[in-house]
Amino acid sequence: MHVYLCEAPRALVITGNVSQVSSQGFALVVSAANSSQDGNRNGASTRSAAKVAVKLVDLEEVPITSMKRLTQTAAAGCLGIMNAGSDIFLACVTASSEVGAIRPREVVMRIGSVSFFCINKSLWDNTVVSESSPDHFNESSGPNTSEVQSSIYTHPCAGLQKYMSGGTFYYAKDRTFDLSTRLDARLAATNDVARAEQPHGLSEYDSRFVWNTYMLESLIEYRSRLVEEERGNFDAGGFLMCAIQGYVGVQYLSGYRSALSSDKSRAQNSVAVISRLSWKRAGTRFNARGIDDDGNVANFVESELIFCHDGITYSHVQLRGSVPLFWEQAGMQAINTKIQITRPQVASQLAFDRHFAELISHYSHVHALNLLGTRDIETVLTAAYSDHMEQTSAETVHVLPPDESLANGAADMKGDRDALVLQGDDDRVALSNFDFHSTSRAVGGIDGVRGQLKNFTAIQAKTASFGFTIIDREGHIRMRQLGVFRTNCLDCLDRTNVVQDFLSQFALDAFLSRASAANSDTFVGFANPSHHIWSAFRSLWGYNGDALSRIYAGTGALNTSFTKTGKKTLGGMLSNAVKSAARTYINNFQDKDKQNVIDMLLGLMANQQPVKIVDVVHDAVEEELLSRLDEFSTTIEISIFTGTWNLNARPPGDALDTWLFPDPRASPDVYVIGFQEIVELTPQQILMTDPTKKKVWEGAILDAFARRSSAEKAPRYVLIRSEQLVGTALIVLVKEDLLPALRGVEAATKKTGLKGMSGNKGGVGVRLTCYDSSICFVTAHFAAGHSNVEERNADYWTISQGLVFTRGKSIPLHDLVIWLGDFNYRIDLPNEHARQLAANDDYDALYAHDQLATSRDNGSVFPGYEEGPLLFRPTYKYDNGRDTYDSSEKQRVPAWTDRVLYRPDNLKQRAYGRAELKASDHRPVFALFSGEVRSIDHAKRMRLYDELLECKAPERKRPIALSAPLRPLDVGDPGLPYPSSNDYHWWDDSASSEDDEAEPTQSRRAPLLRPAGERGMTSAARRPPPARPARYIEDK
């Protein structure tokens, strides 16, 4: 496989593998399509997702010889397409090395180098990442070949290239099997051995572990839209590959015979460890902790031991993952870093249940083994973990029916039936606490832990009942593992490595003991502790622990020497000390850059959106679905309270009830509370935000809700997210019964002070998905000063366009949007006149001179937003604790600085007022809304989608049909077709039949590259292309 560049018009051509059956080859042609600006929604122009055009063509149609080859050596495959800002890149594996065969004909490759080729710009064609550059994640250095010119630019994928070329990514050679899925699951899915030997279909993989999912999404969708024959050609080309991250190691034992032999009778004798790291809450040690709203946990790894001997395959699977709670731990200290649980149990129980429900759906039974100690910083997690497990309803979220077929005995394995089924144990999930450190100290070190763990009643029982998977010589599952251990310590690294080694050892020893008794000739000697299998076993688990630790913490694992040798030495202890010090340095100085690279790989950066492949038919279907939204969705009304208050750095004083509960009869579903100047805006605070004041105010708010709930039996509320930017803070609470409808809660900030460098002014946003509608809340503090209207307007646009959540979700793209804050707009009247009007409650006269109203009228700020009538006195500036406006020497003019604006789509304002709390020089403001959110019946939507697509079946085939063969370019041919241009692409065969009939002599072939002399011709000297119908995909 190679990548070629067609320069005019620009396109990348990927040549696929040539079919051994038909000797026919295919190529993928990828070019950029125009990404237009989205409509001026709310006045904020937002760029749509990057778009590319993809075409599958016969290799003979492509004049490769006239193109520039970009790959120096054959590429192993394409990882997908991604964008970095406005640039779109094709990622390919350009170097790899063989790890070994985990089973016969199942060879794993380690990725050694990844290259990124720009689809839409030539700027990066001569910019490369030097292999000799330091291991930084944001650095690119000069050229490494004489053909490449030096560049003053840093390649936008430089850090990503280094990260993916670091030796932690793997793929299946020639796509002969699915490396992302554990052995028993993929064999059970095939249902037939013959199918298992066919190339792995891209539609079947475990999405939790494929790290290039984001890059592959659009290409896999493109593949699914191809007709069956073309899909077969696409797969035969071997264009795409699935890559996992983690560790794969193979050690061959004595008596090994060829892993790649076509003779099935020639069996493999080996042991392998495969660890698959999940990408769904990926990140570095202190940047990714705990759980998210969807139940994904940090450092989640599925580790599988595969042992092959004499045609029989043994498999045993374990899990590790962060404690499945919402918790954080700062990384600036070397030891005893405080742990903070960020959500109460009522707000985190649902995510906890989702996590274990997902595990149950994959593994049937899960036994959690918690290794946290009794030290102060870990006991809080252990207690909370146990509390959540006691209240879990994970089994009711998703319970699989028992698989009776798994209980069948095996011809080669004779033993007690209780090793195959869970007798008298109906619990799908359970938890055991095992204090690793205390046990180690009590029994004389790590070696003593093995004995304690082996005699631990719960572990002993589950090891026997869960069992393992056995595959016979014919490739059939004779026994299947019925459950897994889920092990965790604080980081799921060092203690977890040791214990997983022991648990795997217990399971393998049980298998070998039973196998030796049942097949003494085949497995003789394996149960002996001195057998070579055990040294290979220890070595693999040691390397596995090191690899996972380097990914998550930046250094090798502690206690690796013990894992590899079974002995603890002075050298090992010194190595542990060095690694601990290195982790502290890496956590504080390198992890941020590495986290940014990981987020870029997963498409989570603010400037990233999934790249779309244009398809006229499917785009038309999506548009029609949008117009028929009511057919597969229902509307649900929710109520929202918003409140904003500039605190002037004052602590809580008076009761907050008159502000938070202006209507005693109302119980809004969502509370959104914004604060400004929650701390004094001193240089020290601006440099390092102090969250203490925010915590104090959170406590005051929760106390107010608790008092109301106990006195009036009002609904219970849960704080789901809070965020702070120096003095600006946003706090969101929701009714407890609304929690199941919420997903994707995120926060983001944007500085506007000192032209974006300082956080003394700026905005804080929180977004969430309620049912199937997206909601965004923004609190902001704009520039001060009576005459600084333009600065305030600029602050609005900076926040509106610059405050972006993951995957490019900007404020205007949400279904419901509310702004609240101290926008600092003043009233352009003399001081005495304004005070007199305020005293007379002449709000219309004051509003006529309001700077925000004037700016909105002329379209300078908040276009598309509305504000309720201002029927209350100006909220600024008062003497603290008094009802009199500013009596200081500055004598500030009263003003409505504190405002709430909203986009009227799906929102109606029910109340707008202020509360008479006098602790600050501002009065707090509140607004009540009712809003409509949608709940989509996704099954009904999919049925309608299929119906609409079927109606367009004839059109559906046309854009994706293979074009007619293109003859090689002949410059002297008088019938030479018109050159390609920005409007006509040689690979686009979508011209209408009427067009073809009108010009029967017009050939569809077109040159990819014109001769050098012709390139110099002016546009006036060229023959213009014929008129073509306006069907270009980029316009769709």
704: CATH = 3.60.10.10
pLDDT value of residue 257:
44
Least confident span in 424-433, 662-671, 884-893 = 424-433
Bridge-based pairing state of the strands 484-488 and 312-320: parallel
pLDDT value of residue 323:
96
- Average pLDDT (74-96) is 93
Residue 84 reports pLDDT greater than 90: no
Q: Which residues contact 918 (CB under 8 A, 6 or more apart)?
A: 654, 878, 880, 881, 882, 883
Residue 1016 reports pLDDT greater than 50: no
- Average pLDDT (254-258) is 51
- Average pLDDT (389-404) is 60
Residue where one domain finishes, among candidates 908, 928, 957: 957
Mean pLDDT (the chain) is 81
Q: Which residues contact 398 (CB under 8 A, 6 or more apart)?
A: 357, 358, 360, 361
pLDDT band at 348 (very low <50, low <70, confident <90, very high): very high
Is 660 within 8 Å of 643 (Cβ atoms)? yes
pLDDT value of residue 682:
79
Domain-embedded: residue 517: yes
- Average pLDDT (788-817) is 94
Residue 543 one-letter amino acid: Y
Express as a percent the part of the chain with pLDDT over 70.
Answer: 77
Residue 546 reports pLDDT greater than 70: yes
Least confident span in 864-868, 951-955, 1003-1007 = 1003-1007
Spatial distance between the Cα atoms of 986 and 980, rounded to a whole number of angstroms: 6
Burial class (CB in 10 A: 0-12, 13-18, 19+), 410: middle
Q: Which residues contact 23 (CB under 8 A, 6 or more apart)?
A: none
pLDDT band at 760 (very low <50, low <70, confident <90, very high): confident
pLDDT band at 152 (very low <50, low <70, confident <90, very high): low
Helix (H) or strand (E) holding 572: helix 570-589
Least confident span in 192-201, 219-228, 250-259 = 192-201
pLDDT band at 259 (very low <50, low <70, confident <90, very high): very low
pLDDT value of residue 516:
83
pLDDT band at 911 (very low <50, low <70, confident <90, very high): very high
Q: How remote is the C-alpha of 860 from its chain's centroid?
A: 36
Q: Which residues contact 134 (CB under 8 A, 6 or more apart)?
A: none
Q: Which residues contact 278 (CB under 8 A, 6 or more apart)?
A: 208, 209, 296, 300, 301, 302, 321
Burial class (CB in 10 A: 0-12, 13-18, 19+), 185: middle
pLDDT value of residue 556:
60
Shared domain for 947 and 984, answered yes or no, is no
pLDDT band at 199 (very low <50, low <70, confident <90, very high): low
Shared domain for 1001 and 953, answered yes or no, is no
pLDDT value of residue 192:
44
Question: Where would I find the beta strands (DSSP E) of 388-483?
Answer: 429-433, 469-471, 477-479
Domain-embedded: residue 549: no
Question: Where would I find the beta strands (DSSP E) of 814-958?
Answer: 816-822, 898-902, 907-914, 925-936
- Average pLDDT (384-398) is 82
- Average pLDDT (831-856) is 97
Residue 261 reports pLDDT greater than 50: no
Spatial distance between the Cα atoms of 508 and 504, rounded to a whole number of angstroms: 6
Which domain, by its residues, includes 620? 615-632+938-957
Shared domain for 620 and 652, answered yes or no, is no
Shared domain for 413 and 439, answered yes or no, is yes
pLDDT value of residue 23:
56
Domain-embedded: residue 579: no
Shared domain for 931 and 949, answered yes or no, is no
Express as a percent the part of the chain with pLDDT over 90.
Answer: 56
pLDDT band at 244 (very low <50, low <70, confident <90, very high): very high
Shared domain for 213 and 244, answered yes or no, is yes
Shared domain for 974 and 899, answered yes or no, is no
Phi-psi region of 193 (alpha: psi -120 to 50; beta: other; left: phi over 0): alpha
Residue 149 reports pLDDT greater than 60: no
Least confident span in 327-336, 479-488, 720-729, 854-863 = 327-336
Domain-embedded: residue 693: yes
HSE of 44 in the Cβ direction (CA atoms, 13 Å)?
23
Task: Give residue for tokens 């250094």.
Answer: 555
Shared domain for 716 and 837, answered yes or no, is yes
Domain-embedded: residue 573: no
Residue 779 reports pLDDT greater than 70: yes
Bridge partner residues of 747 (DSSP) = 766
Domain-embedded: residue 302: yes
> What's the chain's length in residues?
1036
Least confident span in 19-28, 692-701, 738-747 = 19-28
Q: Pick from 309-313, 354-358, 442-446 the range whose average pLDDT is largest.
A: 354-358
Domain count across the chain = 5
Question: What is the pTM for the complete model shown?
Answer: 0.80
Residue 1026 one-letter amino acid: P
Residue 118 reports pLDDT greater than 90: yes
The values of phi and psi at residue 553, to 5°, are: -115, -10
Which of the pair, 242 or 951, is modelled with greater confidence? 242
pLDDT band at 488 (very low <50, low <70, confident <90, very high): very high
pLDDT value of residue 351:
93
Shared domain for 457 and 469, answered yes or no, is yes
The values of phi and psi at residue 193, to 5°, are: -65, -40
Spatial distance between the Cα atoms of 853 and 895, rounded to a whole number of angstroms: 12
Shared domain for 134 and 124, answered yes or no, is yes
- Average pLDDT (510-537) is 83
Which of the pair, 576 or 81, is modelled with greater confidence? 81
Shared domain for 909 and 999, answered yes or no, is no
633-638-643 Cα angle (round to 5): 145
- Average pLDDT (424-435) is 81
Residue where one domain finishes, among candidates 922, 957, 992: 957
Residue 20 reports pLDDT greater than 90: no
Which of the pair, 301 or 976, is modelled with greater confidence? 301
Residue 634 reports pLDDT greater than 50: yes
Residue 46 reports pLDDT greater than 70: no
pLDDT value of residue 575:
56
pLDDT value of residue 139:
33
pLDDT band at 802 (very low <50, low <70, confident <90, very high): very high
Spatial distance between the Cα atoms of 406 and 424, rounded to a whole number of angstroms: 16
Residue 162 reports pLDDT greater than 70: yes
pLDDT band at 592 (very low <50, low <70, confident <90, very high): confident
- Average pLDDT (544-551) is 92
The values of phi and psi at residue 1033, to 5°, are: -65, -35
Domain-embedded: residue 467: yes
Residue where one domain finishes, among candidates 507, 533, 559: 533
Least confident span in 259-263, 598-602, 764-768, 886-890 = 259-263
Domain-embedded: residue 863: yes
Which of the pair, 1002 or 184, is modelled with greater confidence? 184
The values of phi and psi at residue 168, to 5°, are: -110, 5
Bridge-based pairing state of the strands 366-370 and 484-488: parallel
pLDDT value of residue 62:
87
pLDDT value of residue 606:
79
Phi-psi region of 1010 (alpha: psi -120 to 50; beta: other; left: phi over 0): beta
Shared domain for 926 and 1015, answered yes or no, is no
